[in-house]
Amino acid sequence: MKRRVVITGMGAVSPLGPDLVSTWAAVRQGKSGVGPITLFDASTFPCRIAAEVRDSALDPLTGQERRLAKYLNRGARFGMAASRMAMADAGLGPGADAPTRLGVAVGSSGSRPDLKSLGFICRTLTEPGRGPAALDPVGFLSRASSTGASILAIVHNAQGPTLNVSTACAASAQAIAAAFRIIQRGDADLMISGGFDSMICELDVLGFSLVGALSTRNAEPQKASRPFDRDRDGFVLGEGAAVVILEERAHALARGAKIHAELAGYGTTMNAYRMTDSPPDGGGAVQAMEAALADAGVRPSDVSYINAHGTSTAGNDRSETAAIKRVFGDYAYQVPVSSTKSMTGHLIAAAGALELVFCVCSLRDQIVPPTINYENPDPRCDLDYVPLQARPVAVGVALSNSFAFGGNNASLVVRAHR
């Protein structure tokens, strides 16, 4: 018999708030976290808006965190804060009760140097008498995608399986799926899992702009992210982190842990189609959702809410709509589907984890988040996208979708614990 996996802790840092309580309250109210870019001078960029986290909202680093601070890029800093919140919510301290049975699985993209740092590196490498020996290795380590997972393991004394997933927009969902399987196999009893990211920098905003992925609705930042709307023109970059504590059910019950929900199943596939486009018919997204439902042992009609990938790009939203119709048939028109990226922007590697947390909050509060800015329906996106306002719904099973640049797909199923 498979070991059951439950969620006993949650933490988040987002453009909507410094913690999960404030973030979820803003989601329920349909607030947008999008505004002008302040992290660098974007005045000459086609896209000048993003969903930024306010630095002042983060608690100061403490103890061992401070000693490791030099290795933390901006995204990992958010991940540190979210992991601390999740561990506290789960009632766990460093190492829990057995460090070798506690692991880490997170999704992140690492970070790129800003233009000032890049210029310094180039000058140092080319100036006579300087060269590579004059550069600090800490900068290299802080930008590596694997560093964040290692630092979380050090801070929380997690000596079990530790891994970092870097598959763009599917990264944290796939990391949570990996953590789920690690516990099911018996290789760990507890996993710190989720994702963190910050790609609001010159090189990343330029890159996404060059492939035509970002909204240029600069005059109306809070109206820019509009998934499934006829007038959508691209996604809005966000940043932040979300972390969940996954725990083997018997282990959680034995220590009297508060159980938020059960992670019941997942599916992950690859489109093998194009780097930036999703197959018009849904492609691998169909197989990912079907695999997740089968793994969880639930029927499509059992699902009471879908948190869509819903990026606000023309191709993704139509492809995901087509995929949902193929999986759910006529029931696709009855199940509420919403995109919280309309409020948070796209957190890239952290998106799947944050959206899974929103699904758990929906299970707890029996309410589903809205898709804000859904004002002008696209005839090819004709499902119930919970427009503009949150809605009371009896949620027993929720499905969270994460479909990435490059073609990676991941779907997670979470249900009320029983």
Q: Coil, strand, or helix at residue 252?
A: helix
Strands 261-270 and 5-13: antiparallel
User: Mutual orientation of helices 20-28 and 351-365 as an angle, nearest 10°?
Assistant: 70
Structure tokens that stand for 96 in this block:
């829990």
Q: Which among 169, 201, 361, 381 is annotated as catalytic?
A: 169
So where are the chain's domains?
Answer: 5-110+145-415
| pLDDT, tens digit only, all 418 positions of the chain | 789 999 999 999 999 999 999 999 999 999 999 999 999 999 999 999 999 998 766 777 777 787 887 888 899 999 999 999 999 999 999 877 899 999 999 999 977 777 777 777 778 777 887 878 777 776 777 777 788 899 999 999 999 999 999 999 999 999 999 999 999 999 999 999 999 999 999 999 999 999 999 999 999 999 999 999 999 999 999 999 999 999 999 999 999 999 999 999 999 999 988 877 788 889 899 999 999 999 999 999 999 999 999 999 999 999 999 999 999 999 999 999 999 999 999 999 999 999 999 999 999 999 999 999 999 999 999 999 999 999 999 999 999 999 998 889 999 999 999 9
Q: Which among 260, 309, 359, 381 is annotated as catalytic?
A: 309
Known catalytic residue at 417: no
Q: Coil, strand, or helix at residue 347?
A: coil
Domain 5-110+145-415 falls in which CATH fold? Peroxisomal Thiolase; Chain A, domain 1 (3.40.47)
According to DSSP, residue 64 is labeled H
Q: Which among 201, 260, 346, 381 is annotated as catalytic?
A: 346
pTM value is 0.95
Per-residue buried b or exposed e for 135-149, using 16+ beta carbons within 10 Å of the residue's own CB: eeeeeebbbbbebbb
Residue type (1 letter), 367: I
CA 246/CA 40 separation, integer angstroms: 37
CA 413/CA 418 separation, integer angstroms: 15
Known catalytic residue at 169: yes
DSSP states along 99-135: GGGEEEEEE-------HHHHHHHHHHHHSTT-SGGGS
CB atoms within 10 A of CB 379: 6
Q: Which residue has the tokens 């139509």?
A: 318
Known catalytic residue at 346: yes
Structure tokens that stand for 113 in this block:
């140097």
CB 236 within 8 A of CB 369: no
